């Protein structure tokens, strides 16, 4: 399960930003995950729910996931198609001279923080 390693990396990265900006509490983190990334979103959420408790300021943090469709471009006929539906073979010309355009990424899109007023 590589999802735990991904979650730790995300939390470490966001925690560094939190500390550099003197932020007390992170309320949500949004990740963009490609459909062909090999990451299982439900595993990622489970790992995040467990790991967030180990980080100060993340105790109630929510993980949001935005999925990116897997799109492949055929280098022979220059058509784009749904990678998950057709795989490596272009459904238009049957060429295997294709390249994945989107869908294998995983990136941190944003973090939402709570401002806590000093009393």
Tell if the pTM clears 0.75, that is, is over it: yes
Tokens encoding 47? 């790992």
Give the relative orientation of helices 3-20 and 41-51 as an angle to the nearest 10 degrees: 50
HSE of 51, CA atoms in CB hemisphere, 13 A: 18
- DSSP bridge partners of 72: 81, 100
Looking at residue 114, its pLDDT comes to: 87
DSSP conformation letters of 48-113: HHHHGGGSTT-TT-EEEEEEE--EEEETTT--EEEHHHHTTS-TTT----EEEEESS-EEEEEEEE
Domains of the chain: 1-13+27-113 (3.30.2320.80)
List pLDDT tens digits, range 30-51: 999 999 999 999 999 999 999 9
Looking at residue 119, its pLDDT comes to: 45
């Amino acid at each position: 399960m590589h999802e735990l390693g991904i979650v730790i990396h995300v939390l470490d990265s966001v925690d560094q930003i939190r500390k550099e900006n003197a932020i007390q509490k992170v309320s949500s983190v949004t990740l963009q995950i490609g459909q062909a990334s090999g990451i299982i979103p439900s595993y990622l959420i489970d790992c995040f729910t467990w790991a967030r408790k180990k980080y100060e300021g993340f105790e109630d943090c929510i993980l949001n996931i935005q999925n990116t469709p897997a799109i492949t471009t055929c280098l022979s006929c220059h058509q784009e198609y749904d990678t998950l539906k057709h795989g490596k073979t272009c459904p238009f010309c049957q060429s295997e001279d294709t390249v994945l355009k989107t869908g294998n990424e995983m990136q941190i899109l944003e973090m939402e923080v709570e401002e806590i007023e000093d009393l």
